[in-house]
Structure 1
Amino acid sequence: MKKRFNTTGVCIPTMHYMVDITDKLDKIIELIKEKDYFIINRPRQYGKTTTMYMLEQRLKNDYLVVSMSFEGIGDEVFLKEKTFSKVFIELMAESLEFTNEEESKRLLGYENDIDNLRDLSKLITRFVRDSKKDVILFIDEVDKNSNNQLFLSFLGMLRNKYLLRKQGKDKTFSSVILAGVYDIRNLKLKFRNEDEKKYNSPWNIAVDFDIDMKFNEKEIESMLKEYSSEKNVIMNTRNIAQLLYRYTSGYPFLVTRICKIIDEKLNKENLEWTEEYIIKANKILLSERNTLFEDLIKNVENNEELKDYIFDLIMNGEEKSFNLDNPIINLGNVFGYFINKDGKVKISNRIFEQRLY
């Protein structure tokens, strides 16, 4: 099977041209070795799912990795504790079915004993205690149901088990990694006592995840070198990588999308890659409809304050100080539209700036 540039779904090294993210994976694995809990919160199409997949491949020999996604499981799952708890165990079992069938069957054997989150907690304790390896939990698309009280209670349960484990009073997942757009540490969970008016974050146990997920020039060049070698395409990989970074600021989808356009639409005869190709591909990209741009337009059109703020930046040329305490700046930062440049708010890359203009 010939490799290609991929901008939909998870990237597989044997199928797709990919940047070398070894350095990023090494840093994440250090957090896992410390038994930390954290969330990879980054904008849409920023390589979160691919990073989780690559992590699983690196860790599966030393850990029992349970990897699942909350995307597409429906809202009804989150209406009752019994339903959610059973589905959660089924998702765990499905994840292990092709990597450790014995452990998958062991999990399903516990399923009939679950009626609520308390039972789920006990099952997790039992499963982890009897496992031969440390168990790691990955949950992708975690913010799909982050406004659901049952989901927040589930996070609160994992948080409580983590704290008890540190005191030697429980067994639970060695590390839990959640992936999504929003930082769910900011979500609030009401205590069960209705008279208690305080709120507490269900995920305030998470350590900071400050690993830079965008592609740098060296990483982009690693993908170009592999591509040019396999396709016998002549290019100055360093210069092309610099050009790609100049346009995209390393936004993973944009980098790969430009390469895909050049490869499949502009350079079918495998000629030398030049700056002219980058410019032409950029124009094609800006004129097309894709999921990233559709998401950008939806987010801006649905938030009048954000729209006005971007208008002032781009059309009026206003300078604004970067401060994440400002909810509009924070929202633009979460979506990946704003960056902090010398203390000022700037649009994160040239392509977004042109598309928003």
Structure 2
Amino acid sequence: MRRWFNTTGHCQADIHYMLSPSSRLPDLKQLIEQRNYFVIHAPRQTGKTTAMISLAEELTSSGRYAAVMVSVEVGSAYNNDPGAAEIAILPTWRDTIEDTLPQDLQPPTWNYPEPGQRIRASLRAWAQACKRPIVLLIDEIDSLENDALISFLRQLREGYRGRPKNFPQSIGLIGLRDVRDYKYASGGSKRLNTSSPFNIKVSSITLRNFNAAEVAELYQQHTDDTGQVFTSDAAAMAFDLTQGQPWLVNALAKEIVENMVKETSVTITHEHILKAKEILIARKDTHLDSLAERLQEPRVKAIIEPMLAGLELGNVPSDDIQFVIDLGLCTIDPQGGLRIANPIYREILPRVLTITPMASLPHISPTWLTEEGELNTESLLKAFLKFWRQHGEPLLGTTGYHEVAPHLVLMAFLHRVVNGGGTLEREYAIGNDRMDLCLRYGSTTLGIELKVWRNKKGDPEEEGLEQIDSYLARIEENSGWLVIFDRRSKAPPIQERLSTKTATTKNGRHIAVVRA
């Protein structure tokens, strides 16, 4: 039977390419042997469910445990009624256990006692009847909130001391966040802010992304099955673009082998990976779209907006920083500082924010194209100046990200340009005080640096010329644009300040300096 790259639901070994969970969770079996309870958290679409189902199968197949993964998501409809949540959860658990474990490891008939005791009593009865120690992996734990969550965790804590003969030997809670960030809307608090009432956990483990070798290993499985080769450069490019995020790694390969290059005799190169990246970003599949929706949440905006603007974070609560990390939007750079988790996310976030400005753009004739269909950068600059003079400032109000409103409007304009067959790449980071754009169209590459002149700050032109000089060196170009947006409260009117001139950097690169 042929196998496929999977982007929906958990992987099934008979039809999907997949990696062993042991390599990404190397110490988990030891925790289980020590009869520990633990938490595993990671962003969505990182393979938590697949890894836990595979782990449960391995543990059961070893002959030492009765291991199963269950979910509590159905109880989330009853977050203020613990008894009703229990009644919803336990039958689904029983179905899963019956579908997963052999008959001699399944629980006896559960006789439900009073509300608030049903989870504990049912697990106690199963542990007493089962001939093997039980390992219970509980998925979607942070879908529970309020009284249902508190009751559930307290029942696990109460049964803990009876393990392994009278309660599961080991229990793992699987979700997006650590226990202290589970929601409890009581007394004005939105989070538990403590591991109690699950203070019996011995460890909180983050399921890491694939490393470069694992990406190559996953792609090699396709080569082994079909003979179609992923070059080493293609696998390396996939890792660079995704930083090993499992959904993205699979999505790139799936797009290529199922749509772009169906003939298995064709070798897959890094150019295919780059093209697939653009397709995923433009299509905004469910995974990418769900991340983008988070951009409107105030605690997310408070972090992403200064990152886009190149500003310092300021007084942002540490919980909010951890929140965007847990979502998978950001990560801590090994060299220090918060950054967007991978280059694909770095592209999709500002692109999503330009949707409204793009929808608000007037009709613009492509006067920047030559008769041969090539990009003329001088004509493009004239078209931009005309556009900004007529429409720039009114369009600033089409986005809620005030600090980067001019950046987003300019990018909306440039997207109108590249929709004809080019690409627009972005670089930005906390504290850089700039955004770099690379527009590629046919044989033409244009590097653009965006700077903002803010209140109580000096003219950024000199610093901007040094920065665009360095950026152009990286993309191996000798000319580009430096666009300075004047956002001072006493800035001259647009008709007076909109201008362009030519400057030369210390390394002899020719720069069009645009004041907008």
Q: Same fold (TM over 0.5)?
A: yes
- 1:64: which partner in 2? 66
- 1:194: which partner in 2? none
Q: SS at the partner of 2:323?
A: helix
Question: Which structure shows the higher strand fraction?
Answer: 2
The residue identity in structure 2 corresponding to 1:19 is: L
- 2:215: which partner in 1? 220
The residue identity in structure 2 corresponding to 1:179 is: I
1:356 maps to 2:349: yes
Whether the aligned pair in 1 keeps the contact of 2:43 and 2:328 (CA below 8 Å) is yes
1:110 maps to 2:110: yes
- The correspondence of residues 176-255 of structure 1 with structure 2, limited to 5 A, is 176-187=171-182, 201-236=196-231, 238-255=232-249
Root-mean-square deviation (Å): 2.8
Q: CA deviation at 1:225?
A: 1.2
| Structure-1 separation of matches of 2:6 and 2:132 | 34
The residue identity in structure 2 corresponding to 1:297 is: A
- 2:140: which partner in 1? 141
| Structure-1 separation of matches of 2:237 and 2:324 | 25
- CA, structure 1 residues 317+115, in 2 after alignment: closer, same or farther (shift >3 Å)? same
| Structure-2 separation of matches of 1:201 and 1:185 | 8
Q: Which moved more, 1:259-268 or 1:18-27?
A: 18-27
Q: CA deviation at 1:319?
A: 4.7
- Normalising to structure 1: TM-score of the pair? 0.86
The residue identity in structure 1 corresponding to 2:306 is: D
From 335, 340, 344, the equivalent of 1:347 is 340
Q: SS at the partner of 1:30?
A: helix
Q: Which moved more, 1:240-249 or 1:15-24?
A: 15-24
From 327, 332, 336, the equivalent of 1:335 is 327
| Structure-1 separation of matches of 2:301 and 2:183 | 27
The number of residues matched between the two structures is 339
- 2:92: which partner in 1? 91
| Structure-2 separation of matches of 1:64 and 1:120 | 18
- 1:150: which partner in 2? 148
Q: CA deviation at 1:287?
A: 0.4
- The correspondence of residues 77-88 of structure 1 with structure 2, limited to 5 A, is 79-81=81-83, 83-88=84-89
From 318, 323, 326, the equivalent of 1:326 is 318
| Structure-2 separation of matches of 1:325 and 1:304 | 12
- Normalising to structure 2: TM-score of the pair? 0.61
- CA, structure 1 residues 355+212, in 2 after alignment: closer, same or farther (shift >3 Å)? same
* Residues 97-143 of structure 1: per-residue CA shift (max 9 Å, x gap): 13233454x53x232x4222335434432321232100111111111
The residue identity in structure 2 corresponding to 1:273 is: I
Q: Which has the larger radius of gyration?
A: 2
Whether the aligned pair in 1 keeps the contact of 2:66 and 2:105 (CA below 8 Å) is no
Q: CA deviation at 1:181?
A: 0.9
Instruction: Structure 2 unaligned segments of length 5 or more: list them.
Output: 186-192, 351-516
Q: Which moved more, 1:345-354 or 1:284-293?
A: 284-293
Q: SS at the partner of 1:136?
A: strand
Q: CA deviation at 1:59?
A: 0.8
Instruction: Structure 1 unaligned segments of length 5 or more: list them.
Output: 191-197
Whether the aligned pair in 1 keeps the contact of 2:241 and 2:342 (CA below 8 Å) is yes
Q: CA deviation at 1:7?
A: 0.2
- CA, structure 1 residues 222+324, in 2 after alignment: closer, same or farther (shift >3 Å)? farther
- 2:159: which partner in 1? 161
Q: SS at the partner of 1:95?
A: helix
- 1:42: which partner in 2? 42
The residue identity in structure 1 corresponding to 2:128 is: R
- CA, structure 1 residues 308+85, in 2 after alignment: closer, same or farther (shift >3 Å)? closer
Q: Which moved more, 1:84-93 or 1:23-32?
A: 84-93
Whether the aligned pair in 2 keeps the contact of 1:64 and 1:134 (CA below 8 Å) is yes
- CA, structure 1 residues 55+78, in 2 after alignment: closer, same or farther (shift >3 Å)? farther
* Residues 257-291 of structure 1: per-residue CA shift (max 9 Å, x gap): 00111111211122111111011001001101322
| Structure-1 separation of matches of 2:194 and 2:313 | 33
Q: CA deviation at 1:308?
A: 4.0
Whether the aligned pair in 1 keeps the contact of 2:79 and 2:147 (CA below 8 Å) is no
Q: SS at the partner of 1:126?
A: helix
- 1:4: which partner in 2? 4
| Structure-2 separation of matches of 1:292 and 1:278 | 18
| Structure-1 separation of matches of 2:119 and 2:270 | 56
Q: SS at the partner of 2:204?
A: coil
Q: SS at the partner of 2:70?
A: strand
The residue identity in structure 2 corresponding to 1:159 is: R
| Structure-2 separation of matches of 1:186 and 1:295 | 20
- CA, structure 1 residues 221+244, in 2 after alignment: closer, same or farther (shift >3 Å)? same
The residue identity in structure 2 corresponding to 1:91 is: T
Q: SS at the partner of 1:177?
A: strand
Q: CA deviation at 1:183?
A: 1.4
Q: Which has the higher contact order (CA 8 A, sep 6+)?
A: 1
- 2:286: which partner in 1? 291
Q: SS at the partner of 2:168?
A: coil
- 1:264: which partner in 2? 258
